[in-house]
Amino acid sequence: MIAHKESGERIDPTGIKIGMWLFLYSEIILFGGLFVLYAAYFHRYSESFAAGGEELDRLIGAANTVVLLISSFTVAASITALRLHQRRRCICLLLFSLLCGVIFLVNKYFEWGAKFARDLYPGSETLVGGEPGLNIFFGLYYIITGLHGIHVLIGMVLLTVSLVWVVSGRATAERYSMLDNSGLYWHLVDLIWIFVFPLFYLVL
């Protein structure tokens, strides 16, 4: 049980984690529905989807995959460090994880910018006047990767709050629910990208 400083109430960390898992389940349903929609259109426009995949930068996609995988490891390691009373190490790992999030978003910014410069975005003349499947592919690409990018930002906010709590001493080896749940959310962000990367960048 965790004591709440202001009110003296005690908070059950198990209940907090269950609530977090229920929230993550709703997020999985959201992206799962989008992936099912992708599968339905891929079945109909497989050649156009393959052509759309050729327009994406696989190097940036692969780099972002590696960045998120590393950040997921460092977030998990930060939780372990905090539980072992290694506060300084926990802080360094969280800062590195946040840096990985920034790198991911910067890469995505340049990738989107390159696509807009080539007139490859929903409603553009190139896509509207071309194959309908290609327009649908890029529509799904921007929706899913954009939504994922928002989740990366939210995850970074949660990690930042956790970092502040660790620095201030509010999060300790005995009270680490905030960091633990933030880590779960970050792992979900990583997991979703593991599906996004092959669906768009490696589509054949």
Buried/exposed 59-84: b ≥16 CB within 10 Å, e otherwise: eebeebbebbeebbebbbbbbebbee
Contact criterion met (CB below 8 Å) for 22 and 33: no
| Number of structural domains the chain divides into | 1
Contact criterion met (CB below 8 Å) for 183 and 158: no
Model confidence pLDDT, tens digit, residues 40-96: 999 999 999 999 999 999 999 999 999 999 999 999 999 999 999 999 999 999 999
Q: Domain for residue 159, yes or no?
A: yes
In one letter, which amino acid is 122? P
Q: Give pLDDT, residue 13.
A: 65
Q: Domain for residue 6, yes or no?
A: no
Residue 125 has pLDDT above 80, yes or no: yes
CATH number, domain containing residue 159: 1.20.120.80
Q: Domain for residue 2, yes or no?
A: no
How many whole angstroms separate alpha carbon 65 and alpha carbon 119? Answer: 25
Average pLDDT value for the chain: 91
Model confidence pLDDT, tens digit, residues 18-55: 888 888 999 999 999 999 999 999 999 999 999 999 99
Residue 148 has pLDDT above 70, yes or no: yes
Q: Is the whole model's pTM more than 0.75, yes or no?
A: yes
Q: Give pLDDT, residue 129.
A: 85
Q: Domain for residue 5, yes or no?
A: no
Range of the domain at 174: 12-201
Q: Domain for residue 7, yes or no?
A: no
